[in-house]
Amino acid sequence: MEKKVRLLIGKVGLDGHDRGVKIVARALRDAGFEVIYTGLHQTPEAIVNMAIQEGVDAIGLSILSGAHLELFERVLHLLKEKGATIPVFGGGIIPPEDIVALKKMGVKEAFTPGALTDQIVKWIEDNIVPQSL
């Protein structure tokens, strides 16, 4: 039996726009991934704690508030502090130069508005490996 990739998809910070992330979460679930959606207004601490408790294979964050550099950095720092090696990817309204900065800090991929859900699914299939059974 092949294990499904388990993903935590979350909204971090004060951003209250969740239509896009809900569409992505549904597309990921429809593609066969196990998806845990955190809902709005999560703290980096809550995201990291949930990810560790749920044993996810990756964390996907949606940030439209403009605070992507700070929030991704905080999530990555907390993961490192807790000794967790969970890959982080995300999306939002992110300028190209900030995508470069995010990748330098350890974010695996950043999707911008207009990215097709098929692209996100394909990226996960190619880059995220489920934890062993």
Q: Over the stretch 58-112, which tens digit does the pLDDT of each residue have?
A: 999 999 889 999 999 999 999 999 999 999 999 999 999 999 999 999 999 999 9
Confidence band (pLDDT; 50, 70, 90) for 133? Answer: very low
Q: Which pLDDT does position 41 carry in this prediction?
A: 93
Residue 79 · residue 8 · CB < 8 Å: no
Quick: pLDDT tens for 19-28.
999 999 999 9
Model confidence, pTM: 0.96
Domain ranges for the chain: 6-127
Looking at domain 6-127, its CATH class is: alpha beta
- 117-127 and 19-30 helices, crossing angle to 10°: 50
3 state DSSP class of 122? helix
Residues 102, 72 contacting (CB under 8 angstroms): yes
